[in-house]
Structure 1
Amino acid sequence: MAAATRQPEPSDAYDLLVVGGGINGTGIARDAAGRGLSVLLAERGDLAGFTSSSSTKLIHGGLRYLEYYEFRLVREALAERERLLRLAPHVIWPLRFVLPHDEGLRPAWMLRLGLFLYDHLARLRTLPGSHGIDLRSSAYGAPLQKRLNRGFVYSDCWVEDSRLVVLNAMDARERGATVLTRTGVVSARREGDGWVATLRDERGGAERTIRAKAVVNAAGPWVSATLGGTLGINSRAAVRLIKGSHIVVKRLFEGDQAYILQQPDKRIIFAIPYERDFTLIGTTDVPYDGEPGPVSISDAETDYLCGCINRSFDTKITPADVVWSYSGVRPLYDDAAENASAVTRDYVLDVEDQGGKAAVLSVFGGKITTYRRLAEHALEKLKPYFPHLKKAWTGDAVLPGGAMKDADFDQFLAKLKAEKPFLPDETARRLARAYGTRARDIVGTAQSMADLGEAFDGGLTAAEVDYLRTEEWAVTADDILWRRSKLGLRTSPESAARLAAYLDRRAEAA
């Protein structure tokens, strides 16, 4: 017997219903809540459960986009790179990238010109600029094959992508938004000057009905299905699905630098230091026409990525060296490009209303670097429906945990270690990186590791697990081991099972 649908009460009326808990959905919910709108965000799975946790984990201008003359996108992304580095210094930090010149591919003058433009499209630049290097005498050249004797170095940033999503959701909640995970929007219809939507708890099946003046469709790969199916609207815009896959291997090189490697097919592949003991390699760009749910890397993609490394590094890898892989489906705006790598990474915001009311704004495309500006643009498009909307504010507002003096992570880490000297160095660094100043909410008044409760692999403790349950919507072991952290790389099956059992006990006691 189906669960009865609870009818809307006055408290179930919202200005904005946001469908989708990825980076765009949480970014828009945060911005809207801070501008005085009542917001409900519904995500049918976990936050950052799909595309937003499957990126290459870079905040970057997109050097290769210059080849496709996407100057506006690159300029905007570079500006956001500088801004986000200040607003979330715990989950975003600078990286130096080494770009070897590979004879027979892009000529050196083209690389030099591209990097010159890259440096100068950034109106405000705090990161070091680019320069040429002799790979034969530089430590950067040590892991590379001797045929690669010259190259360039430039700056971009790393981001903990799924944590950035959670931080936006937390800030949205703290500004008054309602954030519901494991909650699907099963239907929605226009009624009067707004929308009536039915939400379903994906764990228990209970349904409720809410009202909203407008809807934001930030469903990522499901944006078209949500628009045409759930909302019943035919759209002018279309999405093109591209699968991107990454592999992780044991660390290939010393140092904190990353490498950007040109390929004969004109693609570029990154090799990036990852979780201190590993190297992240990616990404592929494969047209995808299946269901945009959980996806996995193919043998062909694994072989391709291994081959890319073997073309440039002395250390050779095979599929047997892969310790973990992940894949995601990117919902790019369909600009009719023939090559998947050439499809624009820019975003399109499509608004459809009925007589100037009951609007739905759908997000097509976008990249994690520009999510904040995308959210601002979305609110600009929604302003006609909310004339009392407050002004833009997110450009100077730090994300939860980011309020560090001078945005200085190292200074904060040193202070945390002095306050809690019992924390092992690696645990202190991981907590500071993941939670910033809110790491103190986890360690609290503890004076020893034993005070933090049951211990799991990788320095994870019951205190941290409880924080993730109550503050960050974590429900399952995978939520914690692979999205709130990457401790899955260091967790034994026995410890993962203990964690799952602990979560079950806490859920039963709640």
Structure 2
Amino acid sequence: MPRTAAAALRERPQAKVLIIGGGINGVGTFRDLALQGVDVALVERGDYCQGASGASSHMIHGGIRYLENGEFRLVRESVVERNRLLRIAPHYVKPLQTTIPIFSTFSGVLSAPLRFLTHKQQGKPKERGAFLIKLGLSMYDSFSRDGGTVPRHQFRGRKRALAELPRLHPGIKYAATYFDASVHNPERLTLDVLQDGEKAGQVNAGTAGSTARASNYVSLQSMGPAAPAGNRNSSGSTVQLRDELTGELFDFTADIIVNTTGAWVDLTNEAMGAASRFMGGTKGSHIVLDHPQLLEACNGREIFFEHTDGRIVLIYPMGDRVLVGTTDVDADISQDAVCTDGEIDYFLELIGHVFPDIPVDRGQIVYTFSGVRPLPRHDETQPGFVSRDYRIERRAGGTGSVVFSLVGGKWTTFRALAEHLANDVLSELGMERKVSTATMAIGGGAGFPANEAGVQSWIKAHVSADRGADRTALLLTRYGTRAEEVISFLDDGPDQLLRSTRELSIRELEYMARHEQVGHLADVLIRRTSLAFRGLVTGELLNEVTEVLAGPLGWDAAAQAQEIHDAEEVLGRLHRVQVHSLVA
């Protein structure tokens, strides 16, 4: 099958705007610009949501801990955007009840102002007591009073707290409970945002002559001035791109370049001939546990607390697994981000801090992941105090194009950030905003059932003789209401579930290959499904999925063997998952 996404860029190698970087912020900006009728293209050197966007704590949150850094604007924006995403992306973004175990009443009252003023930890960390946490949660609630969609916080004394969560450390004095939100499928939400942009481009192509084209596995190689060509002027710049799946090099011309490559912004600018020193990312790692006892102890809640080193950490259930994170250490972006033995020791220790009678060991870890946060350069500021806010750097390129570089940015605020970045681009182009994305449903969030009764009604309406309620429910969970389009594809030919898992069928894999820009076997295991995340990848699954994908993706026997080898290597090296195929 031809590489239609990259081919569309090669066939028309120019656009008004080229976005480099396919994480959530780049994809969000792509969608926003496409909806405004801008001729926009996006390239991503790996798979969409493969970097920091896919290595997040899977939370959509206001960032209560940022209050201590004085980032009130960011917290307010984050709370507003959290509430918006609960409404416009209800298929993936869900309310998350969060409990903070508290071991003292007034601890930290004297040290907190120093942390606020200096952004440094002075001496041995002083844990935050009930007084400080109550103050922070009250302020947090105030940011949500306009358009709030989650309940206000509650405080519990020790007795009531242990009645609700009996496995908590018996030494707690209080427990504070509030609501944020989680995103269990960040990779699929990113795909939904991307496809919204592509569809907007298809509509505009017939009316305004603009398009929205995006391709993963296309990397930036270099940049130079645009050569005059036909009816184009030479005010823009030409970048050399490389199709990472075929090795083919080709030129692409744009008037505006938007650099949303996260922690690699400086390296991207360097490749374009204008080195910068904007970034100073930190690494965050997580582990995923198959631990029914710990899962039950959480009682459906995130446990969010301060560890003994002053680091804010979390434990929370994700379906049938438990996610534990995260670290915050300076990163070397020349090396792959991986979860180290020391970080695993740290996670096992922090679990014991709040659930002392629940044994946890390495054998219960089914997946690990790490990413580099796209934080600004912070010199002497300690990682935990580095601003999580974002800014946009503009440079009039010496080669012709205007270049916008995004410094910072977090999952929760991607829609607002994309709006801000898109507005800057529109201003540069002399265009006006046509539509707002503030209330616009994302992908399969459109028409998503509002409650459990609605979910069951939707499932009942879409079951068939060959597709039971469990399979239909899984499709709704995976795609939101876009599952109707997927079901139509499944029903348009003979289909059957894979032998190795009941969570995928032959035609669903063909759908992913044809409509979701699958480039490698690992894309399906890690980002199109949650099979790797939940520790469900087997040798049989590797072989079977590869065999099905081979047809639509044009893999011969050698390519299939290479895909299996590469998937095993990625899972082992980056995620500590040891899987061996059944083929010698």
Which of the five TM-score ranges fits, normalised by the shorter chain?
Answer: over 0.9
112, 131, 140: which one pairs with 2:134?
112
Q: Are the structure 2 counterparts of residues 428 and 271 from structure 1 closer, same or farther at C-alpha, using a change threshold of 3 Å?
A: farther
Alignment of 1:247-286 (within 5 A): 247-251=287-291, 252-254=294-296, 255-274=299-318, 276-286=319-329
Secondary structure, aligned partner of 1:156 = strand
Partner of 1:3: none
Q: Are the structure 2 counterparts of residues 446 and 466 from structure 1 closer, same or farther at C-alpha, using a change threshold of 3 Å?
A: closer
Counterpart residue type for residue 156 of structure 2 = I
2:513 and 2:553 in contact (8 A); partners too: no
Please give the per-residue CA displacement for 1:137-179, whole angstroms capped at 9, x wherever unaligned: 3453222121124211000011121112111111111111111
Secondary structure, aligned partner of 1:388 = coil
- Displacement after TM superposition at 1:337 (Å): 5.1
1:353 and 1:359 in contact (8 A); partners too: yes
Counterpart residue type for residue 284 of structure 1 = T
2:263 and 2:333 in contact (8 A); partners too: no
Q: Identify the range of structure 1 (384-393 vs 92-101) with the bigger mean alpha-carbon deviation.
A: 384-393
Counterpart residue type for residue 250 of structure 2 = R
Say whether residues 1:124 and 2:170 are aligned partners. Answer: no
Partner of 1:329: 372
Aligned residues, how many?
Answer: 500
Alignment of 1:275-314 (within 5 A): 276-291=319-334, 294-313=336-355, 314=357
Q: Return the alpha-carbon distance in structure 2 between the equivalents of residues 439 and 384 of structure 1.
A: 37
Say whether residues 1:485 and 2:486 are aligned partners. Answer: no
- Displacement after TM superposition at 1:464 (Å): 1.6
Q: Return the alpha-carbon distance in structure 1 between the equivalents of residues 36 and 492 of structure 2.
A: 42
2:31 and 2:193 in contact (8 A); partners too: yes
Secondary structure, aligned partner of 1:470 = helix
Alignment of 1:389-404 (within 5 A): 389-404=432-447
Alignment of 1:150-161 (within 5 A): 150-159=174-183, 160-161=185-186
Partner of 1:183: 218
- Displacement after TM superposition at 1:456 (Å): 4.1
Q: Return the alpha-carbon distance in structure 2 between the equivalents of residues 346 and 391 of structure 1.
A: 27
Say whether residues 1:444 and 2:484 are aligned partners. Answer: no
Q: Return the alpha-carbon distance in structure 2 between the equivalents of residues 197 and 164 of structure 1.
A: 29
2:95 and 2:179 in contact (8 A); partners too: yes
Say whether residues 1:198 and 2:218 are aligned partners. Answer: no
Q: Percent identity?
A: 32
Q: Return the alpha-carbon distance in structure 2 between the equivalents of residues 218 and 407 of structure 1.
A: 34
Partner of 2:26: 25
Partner of 1:227: 269
Q: Identify the range of structure 1 (9-18 vs 464-473) with the bigger mean alpha-carbon deviation.
A: 9-18
Please give the per-residue CA displacement for 1:349-381, whole angstroms capped at 9, x wherever unaligned: 101115996210001111000011111111222
Please give the per-residue CA displacement for 1:83-142, whole angstroms capped at 9, x wherever unaligned: 111111111110100111023621111111110011111232111110012353345322
2:449 and 2:458 in contact (8 A); partners too: no
Partner of 2:508: 464
1:36 and 1:390 in contact (8 A); partners too: no
Q: Return the alpha-carbon distance in structure 2 between the equivalents of residues 456 and 178 of structure 1.
A: 35
1:303 and 1:318 in contact (8 A); partners too: no
Q: Are the structure 2 counterparts of residues 149 and 31 from structure 1 closer, same or farther at C-alpha, using a change threshold of 3 Å?
A: same
Q: Are the structure 2 counterparts of residues 290 and 26 from structure 1 closer, same or farther at C-alpha, using a change threshold of 3 Å?
A: closer
Alignment of 1:355-434 (within 5 A): 358-404=401-447, 407-408=450-451, 411-420=454-463, 423-434=467-478
Q: Return the alpha-carbon distance in structure 1 between the equivalents of residues 159 and 287 of structure 2.
A: 28
- Displacement after TM superposition at 1:507 (Å): 1.4
- Displacement after TM superposition at 1:477 (Å): 2.5
Q: Identify the range of structure 1 (153-162 vs 335-344) with the bigger mean alpha-carbon deviation.
A: 335-344
Alignment of 1:230-249 (within 5 A): 230-235=271-276, 238-249=278-289
Q: Return the alpha-carbon distance in structure 2 between the equivalents of residues 323 and 49 of structure 1.
A: 19
- Displacement after TM superposition at 1:424 (Å): 4.7
Please give the per-residue CA displacement for 1:242-288, whole angstroms capped at 9, x wherever unaligned: 110000112313232111021121111111111x2210000100111
Secondary structure, aligned partner of 1:33 = helix
CA-based RMSD of the aligned residues comes to 2.4
Secondary structure, aligned partner of 1:93 = strand
- Displacement after TM superposition at 1:185 (Å): 1.5
Q: Are the structure 2 counterparts of residues 405 and 264 from structure 1 closer, same or farther at C-alpha, using a change threshold of 3 Å?
A: closer
Say whether residues 1:170 and 2:170 are aligned partners. Answer: no
Q: Are the structure 2 counterparts of residues 458 and 492 from structure 1 closer, same or farther at C-alpha, using a change threshold of 3 Å?
A: farther
Please give the per-residue CA displacement for 1:297-339, whole angstroms capped at 9, x wherever unaligned: 1111110111111111031212332121111111201244521
Q: As a proportion of its length, which structure holds more strand?
A: 1
Q: Return the alpha-carbon distance in structure 1 between the equivalents of residues 493 and 414 of structure 2.
A: 38
Q: Are the structure 2 counterparts of residues 505 and 9 from structure 1 closer, same or farther at C-alpha, using a change threshold of 3 Å?
A: closer
2:284 and 2:327 in contact (8 A); partners too: yes
Q: Return the alpha-carbon distance in structure 2 between the equivalents of residues 48 and 203 of structure 1.
A: 18
- Displacement after TM superposition at 1:391 (Å): 3.4
Partner of 2:207: none
Q: Are the structure 2 counterparts of residues 210 and 408 from structure 1 closer, same or farther at C-alpha, using a change threshold of 3 Å?
A: farther
- Displacement after TM superposition at 1:180 (Å): 0.9
Counterpart residue type for residue 106 of structure 1 = R
348, 373, 394: which one pairs with 2:391?
348
Unpaired segments ≥5 residues, structure 2: 1-6, 108-126, 202-211, 227-233, 557-584
Q: Return the alpha-carbon distance in structure 2 between the equivalents of residues 410 and 163 of structure 1.
A: 24
Q: Return the alpha-carbon distance in structure 1 between the equivalents of residues 473 and 380 of structure 2.
A: 43
TM-score (ref. length: structure 1): 0.92
Q: Return the alpha-carbon distance in structure 1 between the equivalents of residues 464 and 295 of structure 2.
A: 31
Secondary structure, aligned partner of 1:184 = strand
Q: Are the structure 2 counterparts of residues 157 and 458 from structure 1 closer, same or farther at C-alpha, using a change threshold of 3 Å?
A: farther
2:219 and 2:243 in contact (8 A); partners too: yes
1:431 and 1:439 in contact (8 A); partners too: yes
Please give the per-residue CA displacement for 1:449-494, whole angstroms capped at 9, x wherever unaligned: 9744545414211122122112211232221121122112223221
Secondary structure, aligned partner of 2:443 = coil
Partner of 1:43: 44
Q: Are the structure 2 counterparts of residues 290 and 41 from structure 1 closer, same or farther at C-alpha, using a change threshold of 3 Å?
A: closer
Counterpart residue type for residue 169 of structure 1 = L
1:135 and 1:141 in contact (8 A); partners too: no
- Displacement after TM superposition at 1:79 (Å): 0.4
Partner of 2:250: 208
Q: Identify the range of structure 1 (474-483 vs 27-36) with the bigger mean alpha-carbon deviation.
A: 474-483
